[in-house]
A and B are shown apart, each in its own frame.
Chain A
Amino acid sequence: MTALVLLDHEEGQIRKAALSAVTAAAQLGDVHVLVAGDASIAQAAAAVPGVAKVLHAADARYAHELAEPLAALIVSLAGQYDHIVAAAGATGKNVLPRAAALLDVQPIPDVIRIVDAETFVRPIYAGNALATVKSSDAKKVLTVRNAAFDAAASTGGNAPIEAVDAVDAPAVSKFETVQLSDSERPDLETARVVVSGGRGMQSEEKFHTLDPLADALGAAIGASRAAVDSGFVPNEYQVGQTGKIVAPELYMAFGISGAIQHLAGMKDSRVIVAINKDPEAPIFQVADYGMEADLFEVVPQLVEELKK
């Protein structure tokens, strides 16, 4: 069996999440990847170990990975593939369902585990439940969560690159502009690292203790509801049941006790670090790395240590 992976990219680089999709697809069989964009990206794709073939669509209409032409292209290539896979990011989720509709297939988004060629595990209800679903479609169209699969390496492979021609599709959309957020603080909900403070931050002023650490890690800043209710930070910082739900690769909780309402907003983070003076704080029950210490001593040391 062979799977086709849509390898999405940003600013001339293959997205890391797409490399996780390659790992996932490798569990299903041989992996071919589709690159819609510059030749340099196709070359980068060829170097990914585990990729057997790179399909390169160089036509300008694909440069911005617009769903309308790209879905049509995927449909034209789909005949020889059993699985069509992409990372569960904005591109994959935009393009793959459209392609699936044209193939008369019900897509399977956000896969976190591949049971067999037709059975997949995916979160539903915002991750409050995991559904194992079996597809009866002839082809399977899926997006996969990058947190669930390690990214494939970016060097060591040497796959052939095959050019694919453009196919006709309704020209109903046009790319205008793109604006990548260049602020030093990434968006809380999509940040790779989140540094978060609770009532232990003591005051609005002292909450800024976290700023240099967030700068050093390129992290977004979050807060528990206790910190918001105490007036340390505005409401939009709130992580939790009634705030934002985040699942970064690294979540660092400072002076957060870890009430269930807060845990509901961050428990799907890949790695959780908790720093708290209270050894009984419930946050330690979910933390991968806990440290019983005064956060006001720890944070400056962390900043120093990260510079090394």
Chain B
Amino acid sequence: MSEPVRESMEFDVVIVGGGPAGLAAAIRLRQLSPDLSVCLIEKGSEIGAHIVSGAVIEPRALAELIPDWKERGAPLNTPVTSEDMLYLTETGSLRVPLLDKVMPHMANHGNYIVSLGEVCRWLATQAEELGVEIYPGFAGADVIIERNRVVGVVTGDMGVTKEGTPGPNYQPGMELRARYTLFAEGCRGSLTKQVMAHYDLRKDVDPQTYGLGIKEVWEIPAEKHRPGLVQHSFGWPLDDSTYGGAWLYHFGENLVSYGFVVGLDYANTWLSPFEEMQRIKLHPAFRQHLEGGRRISYGARALSEGGLQAIPRLTFPGGALIGDSAGFLNVPKIKGTHTAMKSGMLAAESVVEAMKTDRVEPGAFTEKVRRSWLWPELRSARNIRPAFAHFGAKGGAVYAAIDAMLLRGRAPWTLHFKHEDSDTLKPASLSEKPFYPKPDGKLTFDRLSSVFLSATNHEEDQPVHLRLRNPSLWKPVNWDVFRAPESRYCPAGVYEAADEATNPHLQINAQNCVHCKTCDIKDPAQNIDWTTPEGGGGPNYPAGM
């Protein structure tokens, strides 16, 4: 296709992504400098459509950004009232005693159980009131780099057919040009990937390691609902070398958020995060909460678990990476909203300063991060996730307790991540198949009926947005060695090994994709390239997610 004629528009700042980081940055920019033109694009059909999070959030950054958030009706309505950390065995569970001492990161006093999607929708209304221009339904498809400076992004073309030719409703993407561009795409952003590669931003930092979070929202009978209850678990059904656990929060009107996170550095190619997530619900510690309820929503998203050691260079000529695009998640706390927001706010401040002196790179951002509470918080947490990678689940938990009680996060050493998550799978012949029970249709379900609840849709007539860099690699690597791990780690049933017995080949059902990005991360040959589909496609998560 020849290069189309694109319309172009100039802004002071363009922000890619309407999650907590991007919205906090947008709000801060207009607070500091009400004359700035700030444009925010979001690939979801509306703000919140692609947001999946637990979520227990710490209101710290929010209170700094919008001190009167309560009066303004921020949807933080369920304070945490009780919490348990459970170590699960197949049939029983042990409560971790003295939780606030052993795992102080997990202490949630003063925090709120929220639907992060709702919080983002609320943040968007605040941003719009301040004059931020928000355009959901438009994906950033390309970064514009001129004379080695990022000068904006191009939104995706709309109405391109399966064959890649312009269809009857073809609309070329638009150039959104900006003095500064902030990438707030969340974990494993597709434009962030381009920028990281172009400026070699990951030089001298640990490889990023990831987790996959899968979530369901349930509506349960009122008499069982205990708003404010927080429960986390680790142990069963994962083996000691696999990092992960489940959560269960009671919030809102008879709603329960249930979910499961697994470290994507897992080794067993037969492991299916989706089915692990399903079977944990059968454990008495979880079953008792959900029985008699109905599942109303489903979603999944990868998250960055590398912490401090894996944070890349944050700035480049013409912009910065913020939120989970950079990897600001605090893993032991399993919280990234407050850090994402804080990073967005600091980036906004740096951009405003850079603008005054017309500096190309908002370099003050890195320094501001180091001087804010963000840095010590992530620094004290830095060894816990790698400890699990080094010492396993039990050893990691012991290390975490020692780190918390004796070292108080100030260990004179730093544990490192050595491998990309794509390098950790063992061949199928060396892996043991877990037993996954069949879905019962009441507590446990199959992939497709789950995807159905994510309200995922993509325009049918468009090029497949999941691309194999080299299609001929699939058979010898993914099939012959690993037996199609993508058919198991994908929580949306996008990848299927078809005709297994006769002529194994990969069937990609791109329409099901919930934009979690796991395939881009975990494919053993790094052969799957997740690109943005036509804007507005993907899940349409309702309130509660």
Contacts and interface: CB of A to CB of B under 8 A. Distances in A.
Given A229-B507, A229-B509, A261 B457 contact: no
Interface in B389-448: 448
Contact of B452 (A229, A235, A241): A241
B461 interface: yes
B452 A261 contact: yes
Given A225-B511, A229-B507, A230-B507, A242 B452 contact: no
B14 to A, nearest CB: 32
A199 B507 CA distance: 12
B460 interface: yes
B509 A264 contact: no
A259 interface: yes
Interface residues of B, number: 11
Contacts of A242: 457, 460, 511
A306 B345 CA distance: 72
Interface residues of A, number: 11
A264 B507 CA distance: 23
Contacts of B460: 235, 242
B456 to A, nearest CB: 9
Contacts of A229: 507, 509, 511
A242 B460 CA distance: 8
A206 to B, nearest CB: 14
Interface string A220-240: 000001000110000100000
Interface in A41-74: none
Nearest to B447: A259
A260 interface: yes
A290 B363 CA distance: 67
B449 interface: yes
Nearest to A285: B441
A171 to B, nearest CB: 38
A230 B507 CA distance: 8
Contacts of A225: 509, 511
B449 A260 contact: yes
A259 B448 contact: yes
Interface in A242-256: 242
Contact of B448 (A199, A230, A235, A260): A260
Contacts of B509: 225, 229
Nearest to A257: B448
Nearest to A228: B460
A276 to B, nearest CB: 16
A225 B509 CA distance: 9
Contacts of A260: 448-449, 452
A283 to B, nearest CB: 12
B543 to A, nearest CB: 17
Interface string A251-274: 000000001110010000000000
Contacts of B461: 235
A237 to B, nearest CB: 12
Nearest to A243: B460
B538 to A, nearest CB: 13
A241 B452 CA distance: 9
Contacts of B507: 229-230
Interface string A191-227: 0000000010000000000000000000000000100
A8 to B, nearest CB: 36
A242 B509 CA distance: 13
B445 to A, nearest CB: 9
B363 to A, nearest CB: 47
A235 to B, nearest CB: 6
A36 B507 CA distance: 56
A260 B447 CA distance: 10
A188 to B, nearest CB: 16
B311 to A, nearest CB: 40
Contacts of B449: 259-260
A235 B459 CA distance: 12
Nearest to B460: A235
Nearest to B439: A282
Given A235-B460, A242-B457, A242-B460, A264 B511 contact: no
Contacts of A199: 498
Nearest to A238: B460
B452 A264 contact: yes
Nearest to A235: B460
Nearest to A199: B498
Interface string B147-167: 000000000000000000000
Nearest to B511: A242
* Most chain B beta carbons < 10 A, residue from A199, A230, A261: A261
B447 to A, nearest CB: 9
A225 B511 CA distance: 10
A22 to B, nearest CB: 39
A210 to B, nearest CB: 21
Interface in B282-301: none
A260 B439 CA distance: 14
A79 B52 CA distance: 58
A225 B457 CA distance: 13
Interface in A132-181: none
Nearest to B459: A242
A66 to B, nearest CB: 34
A218 B120 CA distance: 52
Nearest to A230: B507
A147 to B, nearest CB: 24
A205 to B, nearest CB: 16
Nearest to B162: A235
A168 B432 CA distance: 83
Interface of B: 448-449, 451-452, 457, 460-461, 498, 507, 509, 511
Interface of A: 199, 225, 229-230, 235, 241-242, 259-261, 264
8 contacts: A229-B507, A230-B507, A242-B457, A259-B448, A259-B449, A260-B449, A261-B448, A261-B452
Closest 5 CB pairs of A and B: A259-B448, A260-B449, A260-B452, A235-B460, A260-B448
Given A230-B498, A242-B511, 9 more contacts: A199-B498, A225-B509, A225-B511, A229-B511, A235-B461, A242-B457, A260-B452, A261-B448, A264-B452
